[in-house]
Structure 1
Amino acid sequence: MCNFRMWYKAEDDVYVLQCVQCNTYQVRVRNSAFMFDTFTYTLFCEVVADLYLKSSNNTSGDPIKVPTFNQGIELSMERSALRELFCLLDGADTEMKAAQMTSLFYY
């Protein structure tokens, strides 16, 4: 049974969790939740960051397709929703790095 650690919570239904036993990640954004292994989570974060940076040139307002690497499911997002996802993942990354830095001071 998974024992989840909350890395970042923007709202009640917007958060990133990680199981401390099996090392899986859960990303929830509103009514969608996705599970990732470590490699896929890292890849997902990189893709979201890349799409968010490239979306600043998206003046047409077309939806942006974000692959989730979960059985062919893609998210179709407006730039504002992509920004929310990017900020969520960035906040979680900041918390993870802070925890890693803190652990260097303990044996």
Structure 2
Amino acid sequence: MCSFKTLYYAEDGYLIVCNECRHFQLAFQTTLLTMTAQDLQVFHTLVKENREYNADINSGRKNIYIPTPLEGYGMILNRKELEELFQLLETAEVNFKAECLLELFHTTG
């Protein structure tokens, strides 16, 4: 059974990781995805690239497509939502790296 550690939690979504199977669960608005570390890394990269590519868009229109690891399933976001998702992933990544470093100290001490 999964035992989750919260990497990020806010009103717009969360990212948690299972301590046993090391799968990640991302919730953002009405989307919930379970991903491997590799899938999450690819997804995070796609979000970063779309953020840079669509930097000049200030529209509230949902016209930014982000593919997911699930075949035939993607997210359609506006610029504000893309920025919120990016911040979620960036913060969670920093928290995950910090947790991994802390675990190193616990196992060697």
Asked if residue 63 in structure 1 is aligned to residue 72 in structure 2, the reply is no
Q: Which has the higher strand share?
A: 1
**What is aligned with 1:16?**
15
Structure 2 residue matching 1:71: 3-state secondary structure: coil
Structure 2 residue matching 1:53: 3-state secondary structure: helix
- The percentage of aligned residue pairs carrying the same residue is 28
**What is aligned with 1:89?**
89
Against the structure 1 CA distance between its residues 105 and 3, is the aligned structure 2 distance closer, same or farther, given a 3 Å change threshold? closer
Check conservation: 2:13, 2:27, Cα contact below 8 A.
Answer: yes
Q: Say how many residue pairs are matched.
A: 106
TM-score normalised over the length of structure 1: 0.87
**What is aligned with 2:74?**
74
One-letter code aligned to 1:91: T
Structure 2 residue matching 1:87: 3-state secondary structure: helix
Structure 2 residue matching 1:86: 3-state secondary structure: helix
| RMSD over aligned Cα atoms | 1.8
Distance 2:97 2:21 in 1: 19
Structure 1: which 4+ aligned runs deviate by more than 6 Å?
Answer: none
Structure 2 regions of 5+ residues with no counterpart?
A: none
Structure 1 regions of 5+ residues with no counterpart?
A: none
**Shift of residue 20, structure 1, vs aligned partner:** 0.9
TM-score normalised over the length of structure 2: 0.86
Distance 1:46 1:89 in 2: 10
Structure 1 residue matching 2:69: 3-state secondary structure: strand
One-letter code aligned to 2:67: P
Check conservation: 2:62, 2:76, Cα contact below 8 A.
Answer: no
Distance 1:104 1:37 in 2: 21
